[in-house]
Amino acid sequence: MPGDALRAGARLRKDAARLARDPVPYVKAMPLPSNILEWHYLLRGPEDSPYAGGFYHGKLIFPSDYPFKPPSIYIITPNGRFKPNTRLCLSISDFHPDTWNPTWSVSTILTGLLSFMLESTPTYGSIVTTDEAKQKLARRSILYNLQSAVVRDLFPEEYEEMKKLTMQQRSIPNAVMSYTLFACCFVMFIYIARYVLQNSA
């Protein structure tokens, strides 16, 4: 109903203002400019977790009767915890309207999502992977997200940060190769100099 959508929009704008005043650690979220009912989030992997160094893009689809009903929750970036682009079965998602509390906000949802990501409880949409696999996906997540126009437009600061991290990662092999080449040339120079000195004596 149009009236419900208006109320949902008003509530989501309040949630956005609250989120701006009191950000959720490790997670940033913004609605699409064209649709207040579709939010996108960017979760930064906590330092003491297998997701450290990774960035994870996902979305929240709110119903027109929010906050009386919960949103659908998706994660888009491959992460090793949840299937990408799959509606997640969480106590804060539309899979469980019976456990939803209308006083909860976008901040509550993001905090709960981070908590679910850091644990290993199986649920619909979850997958089982090793910490090593999660770490590998964390390293790959930056390049994956740089292909997203939504990430670029909604999270420009983080997008630029990811671009810089990618450039740094690419420069490391070149630096190692340059150092290795220099070391080889230096050793060869020492060997040749020693050979010349021995034969000229």
Residue 30 to residue 150: CA distance in whole angstroms: 10
Q: Which of 179, 180, 173, 147 is nearest to 162 (CA)?
A: 147
H or E segment at 102?
none
List C-alpha distances in Å: 190 to 126, 177, 186.
Answer: 58, 20, 6
Q: Which residues contact 122 (CB under 8 A, 6 or more apart)?
A: 128
Residue 179: Cβ within 10 Å count? 10
Residue 50: left (phi > 0), alpha (psi -120 to 50), or beta? alpha
* Token pair belonging to 73: 């929750």
Instruction: Give the catalytic positions in this structure.
Output: 89
Q: Residue 194: what are its φ and ψ, rounded to 5°?
A: -65, -40
